Amino acid sequence: MSTLMLGVSGLRGLVGESLSPEVIGAYAHAFISHLKATETPSNGKHFVVVFGRDSRPSGGFVRDAAVAALTASGAHVIDLGVVTTPGTAMMVKRLNADAGIVATASHNPIIWNGLKLLDRRGIAPPPTFISKVIERFRSGERAYVSVDKLVASSSSDQTNTHHVDRVLSHVDVLGIASKRFKVVIDSINGAGCVGGSTLLSKLGCSVIQINGEPTGQFAHEPEPTEKNLIGLCEEVRRQKAHVGFAQDPDADRLAIVDENGRYIGEEYTLAIAAEYILRKRPGSLAAANLSTSRMLDDIATRHGGRVIRTPVGEANVVEGMLAHNAVIGGEGNGGVIDPRIVAGRDSLTSIAYTLALMAEENRPLSQIVDDLPKYVIIKDKFECRREDANRAVAALQNHFANEKVDTQDGIRIDWPDAWVHARPSNTEPIMRIIAEAPTRESAESRIKQVQQIVHQTLATSH
């Protein structure tokens, strides 16, 4: 069971090893049991749970095991089929459900799958709620209902239609369509195949879709990083396209390639969306986690706004956005959040806002990107027990006491032209150190300074 991961968003494991039907059923039962113990059904009778899944070959048995446990626990399950994670989140509220579950392992390889939990707002439940679900899961308790309290499951095929329509309602469709953009989209044979191509078609684009069948047989490593998207870059150049997009398997993240076939980096996905939104809503707040590029701060300042920083994790960013009424937010992994569309990362929103900005600017994407702020990010990680990582964070806090620091999640130290974020991982025994500065030399200097203090602290603690 060593590869079974339990965290703030749910459960993840290796198919055929740690992730068995028994484990899936037990976790789904723990979730619905805690819902029943702490909340009341919206309909006053029984809990309603929407269930979506990405396209992984294991998705069928994961769904069946989870639905069986939910149904046996007295819940009414609405099966959405193969749909995106943001699409599932939308349907929680649209169908007036009490919760949602997505069978997905996000950007992990095909051998992984899991269950991501959503509350009735369509976002990940608070950590305190998740910790209680995990306690119930580990206790092994079972409390199924009698036959007279069983509710038959049902299905809905409206997720993609609703998702696309919601995104289209927030952009100038005719303005984008008038540009007749040629777009290459790599959907990684994942859950975003239908929604991605449908959105682009409705925006009047000439669409070249690669890996566009939702078979779950990923054509390359599924995380949308530069080394995994060489084929997309080549196809953009070959097709002489205006832009290339890459979704991850559950379609909540997006990477972008410019018209020259240049991978511009996942950090730019949020920057582009923020530039599009904040110029329309000047003076507004944006939100991002502590490890996300300060490009967002520069863009917000340019439009009279500022950025709310949160601990790492989509759920934390969403909670920060809702608490402060931020109009745009996300993470530097290609995840963009506009709460008017869905309170979670959404690749379709990112696609639409990128094309909308290109249409408004009426110039190539490469020129738009080159005019955005420029920084270099360096990332380091190493094995480290949480207690040792916490000791290192305390040492950093003491050493940099005269600098601007944020201790919401480890420690982030800010200088006028750079920052470093050092934090223990929430999911594995490692410590991460990330630095950003205008040049590689400056970023390396900052990260080495922090690394030296961390390693000295750990060396004296043994």
Annotated active-site residue in 9, 106, 284, 293: 106
Cα distance between residue 412 and residue 52, in whole Å: 36
Among residues 165, 163, 180, 336, which one has the least CA distance to residue 247? 336
| DSSP string for 404-439 | EEE-SSSEEEEETTEEEEEEE-SSSSEEEEEEEESS
- The pairs formed by 207-212 with CB atoms below 8 angstroms and a separation of 24 or more are 207/183, 208/182, 208/183, 208/184, 208/235, 208/239, 208/241, 209/184, 209/185, 210/184, 210/185, 210/186, 210/235, 211/186, 211/187, 212/185, 212/187
Give the Cα separation of 329 and 332 in Å (integer): 10
Residue type, 41: P
206 is catalytic: no
Per DSSP, helices labelled H in 240-385 are 267-278, 295-302, 314-324, 347-361, 365-370
- Residues annotated as catalytic (active site), given as ranges: 106
